[in-house]
Amino acid sequence: MSLLTVGSVAFDAIETPFGKTDKIIGGAGTYISISSSFFTKPVNVVAVVGDDFPEEYIKTLESQGINTDGLQVKEGEKTFFWAGKYHNDMNSRDTLVTELNVLEHFDPIVPANYQDAQYVMLGNLSPQVQSTVIERLENRPKLVVMDTMNFWMDIAWDDLMKTISMVDVLSINDEEARQLSKEYSLRKAAKKIMEMGPKYLIIKKGEHGALLFHEDKVFSAPALPLEEVFDPTGAGDTFAGGFIGYLAKTDDISFDNMKKAVIYGSAMASFCVEKFGTDRLLEITEADLEARVKEFEELTVF
């Protein structure tokens, strides 16, 4: 089923205890689109870059089956840039640079050939941009999934509440779930957040896996205990991309299938962290993915 993704397509400069990169391709929209394109094609991306964004990077996206008709290239402007440095434990990082550039006045365009979107993944962006995309779709998609972060809770609460009320699935991390609900217990937090609109809630817990909530049901997905996390950048977005990609491919939004989608998303994220940036995502095969999903099964079956 046709999939639309929205999110930043950007430059990242990453430093981890294992090394550092120059400006490489990054951004939530990039990770989501590459990850979901593993399951379904085309992935119709809505995003914006500056004229400094290399043609080669756009070709990389297109070679994955990503349709860039909705990728605006702004002449005379610069691409969003983020630089960060991870601490030794890889669980925390310092942001060194954030240059909004083209994202500051991002007015998303939804091309006519994207209008049949049945599955929509709103990657982390200003909630106002996220809701604009929904409003610019003529028909309500079958499933709208939204990712966001604490930053928008701090500076754009009302916009955030509006967008959250419009989506089916919200994906945030445990700290953010606590901030959003003002509840420490994740079970209580989930109840409160689902009263804000979304019928489903995913709480991402990094190395501790993820929880999927719906009505009074819960599913707990483990994370694969890895020997080495090389670069965690994009893991959450890769998870989201795998989640929506699997749902779009199978076109089944039952709770049972969403559980599987969470596992496929987790498997994709477990690859993402094995190399810098999107490198590992661009080389895995279907056999790699199925073997990884099997590892998740072995990890949890008792």
Binding footprint of a second copy on the chain (CB under 8 A): 88-90, 184-188, 190, 205, 207-209, 211, 217-223, 225-229, 256, 259-260, 262-263, 297-302
Q: Which is nearer to a second copy, 161 or 224 (CB)?
A: 224
Q: Which is nearer to a second copy, 104 or 256 (CB)?
A: 256
Considering the complex, what minimum distance in angstroms separates the CB of residue 261 from a second copy? Answer: 9
Q: Which is nearer to a second copy, 46 or 186 (CB)?
A: 186
Considering the complex, what minimum distance in angstroms separates the CB of residue 208 from a second copy? Answer: 4
Beta pairing partners, 172: 203
> What one-character-per-residue DSSP string does 67-124 give?
EEEEEEEETT----EEEEEE-TTSS-EEEEEEE-GGGTT------GGGTT-SEEEE-S
Dihedrals φ, ψ of 215, to 5°? 50, -125
Considering the complex, what minimum distance in angstroms separates the CB of residue 150 from a second copy? Answer: 17
Q: Which is nearer to a second copy, 178 or 280 (CB)?
A: 178
Considering the complex, what minimum distance in angstroms separates the CB of residue 224 from a second copy? Answer: 8
- CA nearest 57: which of 41, 46, 68? 68
- CA nearest 226: which of 140, 146, 295? 295
Please check whether residue 48 is in contact with residue 103, taking contact to mean a CB–CB distance below 8 angstroms. yes
Considering the complex, what minimum distance in angstroms separates the CB of residue 107 from a second copy? Answer: 40
Give 58: exposed, middle or buried? Use CB within 10 Å, 0-12, 13-18, 19+.
middle
Considering the complex, what minimum distance in angstroms separates the CB of residue 91 from a second copy? Answer: 8
Cis peptide before 127 (omega within 30 of 0): no
Q: Which is nearer to a second copy, 2 or 280 (CB)?
A: 280
Q: Name the DSSP class of 293.
A: H
| Token duo for residue 132 | 């604009």
| Token duo for residue 143 | 């499933």
Give 168: exposed, middle or buried? Use CB within 10 Å, 0-12, 13-18, 19+.
middle
Considering the complex, what minimum distance in angstroms separates the CB of residue 184 from a second copy? Answer: 5
Q: Which is nearer to a second copy, 55 or 216 (CB)?
A: 216
Q: Which is nearer to a second copy, 134 or 235 (CB)?
A: 235
Contacts of 128 (CB under 8 A, 6+ apart): 156, 159, 163
